[in-house]
Structure 1
Amino acid sequence: MKKLLRPLQNWLDNLPVENPRLAHLLCSLIPSTCPFERDVVLFQRTLFHIPALCTLNPFYEQLVGLRFKALCYLADCCGEDVTRYIV
């Protein structure tokens, strides 16, 4: 299975971020933290914890890297304040 996904993972790793609109789009679409991780609380008691399931995604590392490239492009090349994309 890993061999089948490797070309797409390589493509995502090597995708250049050289456009401000694309960088803003990537920063908006790719979350900074896993949106599924949470504690389930009832009456101020934690019933259970749902772990970060994003790490099960075979493209997780590539998406995080792509978001980081987009943030760096906006900050370094465009001189923009990227604090709105950081939680």
Structure 2
Amino acid sequence: MITRIFTKLTKFQPLNPLRKWLDHIEINNPKLAKFLCQLIPSQCPFERDITFFSRISFHIPPMCKLNPLYNELIGLRFKALCYLADVCGEDIGLYC
């Protein structure tokens, strides 16, 4: 009985429609591609070293992996960067 309940809970994933939608977004507009590259950061913005008196007291690890849509957002950013570089021929060094 417990295993039946557990399998039902693991099959219930309410974010799957949003994940599929993000994966199927087509980038075909340079303005949209630039916006996405500026909106989605290339590195996790939460990782920090806390220092006191020039010594590292503790380290806050990156918590982006806790975001359930992390892989889809990074994939979308990658598609936008590829569009800008391959189709538009722009230098993407500004976004890296």
Counterpart CA distance in 1 for 2:42 and 2:70 is 11
- TM superposition shift of 1:44: 1.3
Gaps of 5+ in 2: 1-8
Q: Give 2:52's aligned residue.
A: 42
Counterpart of 1:40, as a letter, is I
Aligned ranges 1:1-87 → 2 under 5 Å? 3-86=13-96
- TM superposition shift of 1:7: 0.8
TM-score normalised by L of structure 1: 0.94
The higher-RCO structure (CA 8 Å, 6+ apart) is 1
Counterpart of 1:82, as a letter, is I
Counterpart CA distance in 2 for 1:13 and 1:26 is 14
Counterpart CA distance in 2 for 1:15 and 1:3 is 20
How many corresponding residue pairs?
A: 86
Stretches of 4+ aligned residues off by more than 3 angstroms: none
TM-score normalised by L of structure 2: 0.86
- 1:17-56: CA deviation from partner (whole Å, max 9, x where unpaired): 1100000000000000000001111111111110111111
SS of match in other structure, 1:7: helix
Q: Which has the larger radius of gyration?
A: 2
CA RMSD of aligned residues (A): 1.2
Q: State the identity %.
A: 59
Gaps of 5+ in 1: none
